[in-house]
Amino acid sequence: MRVSAAVLVAALTVVATGCGHSSSPKQQTILVVVDAPFSRSPYIGNTIANGARLAADQLTARGLSVGGAPSKVRILKLDNALSPSRAVADMRRALRDHAAAVLTDGTGVDATWHLADKEHVPICIAYQGGTELVNPETRPNVFRIAPTDHGLAFRLAEYLVPKRLKIALLTDDSDYGQAGRAALGDAFRTVSKAVAARIALPSSASDLAPQVLEARRSGATALLVWARPAVLAKTIAAARSAGWGVPVYTTPAGEDPVVRQQLADHSSWLDGLTFASGRMTAELGPAPWSAFQAGYEAAFGATQVGVKSQGRRVIAPPDYGMYSYDFVNLLAAAVQRVDGTDPATVLSALNQVSTRGANGDERGFNERNHEGVVDDDVYFARFADMVFKPVEDDPLSSTLPAIDQVR
């Protein structure tokens, strides 16, 4: 009896297998892992992941075909919690799952690139700007689409020095601030007369008045702050509450919603804050960016900053989502170019393809350059009434249109 049952089950299985078989090619999945600090910096993590997901959904909807088979791009989110060892564990999982590429904020790349390189899996950094992270010769599988620290620092120096300001360089004691201190040190090396003071900001301090006072006493006529958003907000608060209307310049940290949230009760203190970042629009005009932003908001909703401007709610443009969006499109272009998913050939093809980016710029890499954002893509924007627009006194910024930030 038992034997007959087993034979019956086996026969049914064979029949079922035969019925399930189809002559049409099976759908392929191109897996892109987003490894970002979702638990520690959710704004950064979600922006990167959403940009990647938007591109994946659009590609799948358009009908991606690889090797004659319909394909789809799938995004897998893994939380590295800003921990390099978590990033290594995430990379191992990505490799086990045969990921086609890994998008990351940059955490742990020093440790993970080698693991990925053995399997010819490309890594794209979409946030951190450390110069040493990307090197096409020694790390052939590491790419970046984000402003570099080097680019930000040199553009800031180039912008500020001609104004004949005496600049106090304030950097916090986080890794971000320490990287900024090194980048600013290089950028201001030949123009050290423009530097009034170099001051370290303790991230954990509740009041930065002593450090701001030290800057004031040094004769500074401008503050250049390279710090985490919360520290930047405290620095501005310390200066303004002391009645010091000194101009403040900073990095992309300035556009982080945290800064505006912390200064919401004193919106005038934020007026005049100028930050450097990767530009969202190109000379072509704002249409490509607007299309991207509309798609992003339709899919995920607008990122509310939590403050108002002239009675209307302020939203944060998804500029870092633009970078991950562009990389997924580049990856898809590479896959289609080789018409397959063999990692080594896809990696090689990434050095040859280019796409139209979310802001209308041409994005692409080559064997000698794995940076997707060149130094000249860094622009400056200035706040007024909780929203920002490109400055008028920088030739590379003044031609850029302002992005609508209220709803």
User: CB 180 → other proteins: shortest distance, Å?
Assistant: 12
Q: Say how far apart CA 237 and CA 151 lie, in whole Å.
A: 28
User: CB 148 → other proteins: shortest distance, Å?
Assistant: 15
User: CB 286 → other proteins: shortest distance, Å?
Assistant: 32
Q: Examine residue 79 and tell whether it contacts other proteins (CB under 8 A).
A: yes
Using the rule CB under 8 A, which residue among 30, 179, 222, 315 binds other proteins?
179
Q: Say how far apart CA 14 and CA 20 lie, in whole Å.
A: 10
User: CB 68 → other proteins: shortest distance, Å?
Assistant: 30
Helix (H, G, I), strand (E, B) or coil at 65: strand
Residue 130 or 254 having the CB closest to other proteins: 130
Q: Say how far apart CA 321 and CA 328 lie, in whole Å.
A: 11
User: CB 361 → other proteins: shortest distance, Å?
Assistant: 28
Q: Examine residue 107 and tell whether it contacts other proteins (CB under 8 A).
A: yes
User: CB 40 → other proteins: shortest distance, Å?
Assistant: 9
User: CB 358 → other proteins: shortest distance, Å?
Assistant: 26
Using the rule CB under 8 A, which residue among 110, 119, 214, 297 binds other proteins?
110
Using the rule CB under 8 A, which residue among 65, 131, 178, 354 binds other proteins?
178
Angle at 402 between CA 396 and CA 407, to 5 degrees: 155
Left if phi > 0, otherwise alpha if psi is -120 to 50, otherwise beta: which for 354?
beta
Q: Examine residue 297 and tell whether it contacts other proteins (CB under 8 A).
A: no
The binding track of 117-136 with respect to other proteins, each residue x by CB under 8 A or -, is -------------x--x---
- Give φ, ψ of 352 to 5 degrees: -120, -20
Angle at 388 between CA 382 and CA 391, to 5 degrees: 40
CB atoms within 10 A of CB 389: 15
CB atoms within 10 A of CB 232: 29
- Cα(first)–Cα(last) distance of the chain, in Å? 72
Q: Examine residue 150 and tell whether it contacts other proteins (CB under 8 A).
A: no
- Contacting range for other proteins; rule: CB under 8 A; set: 38-46, 218-226, 374-382, 392-400: 38-46
User: CB 86 → other proteins: shortest distance, Å?
Assistant: 8
Residue 108 or 151 having the CB closest to other proteins: 108
With CA atoms as reference, report the closest residue to 330 among 146, 148, 145.
145
Using the rule CB under 8 A, which residue among 13, 27, 85, 190 binds other proteins?
85
Q: Say how far apart CA 165 and CA 348 lie, in whole Å.
A: 47
Helix (H, G, I), strand (E, B) or coil at 104: strand
Q: Examine residue 98 and tell whether it contacts other proteins (CB under 8 A).
A: no
Using the rule CB under 8 A, which residue among 31, 52, 109, 246 binds other proteins?
109
- Contacting range for other proteins; rule: CB under 8 A; set: 102-110, 135-143, 185-193, 264-272: 102-110
Q: Examine residue 84 and tell whether it contacts other proteins (CB under 8 A).
A: yes
User: CB 52 → other proteins: shortest distance, Å?
Assistant: 18
Q: Say how far apart CA 207 and CA 70 lie, in whole Å.
A: 58
Q: Say how far apart CA 199 and CA 221 lie, in whole Å.
A: 14
Q: Annotate 272-287 with b (16+ C-beta within 10 A) or e (fewer).
A: ebbbbbbbbbbeeebe
Do the bridges between strand 28-36 and strand 69-79 make them parallel or antiparallel, or are there none, so unpaired? parallel
Q: Examine residue 83 and tell whether it contacts other proteins (CB under 8 A).
A: yes
Beta bridge partners of 66: 69
Using the rule CB under 8 A, which residue among 59, 73, 75, 82 binds other proteins?
82
Q: Give me the residues that bind other proteins (CB under 8 A), please.
A: 38-39, 42, 79, 81-86, 88-89, 92-93, 96, 107-111, 114-115, 130, 133, 173, 175-176, 178-179
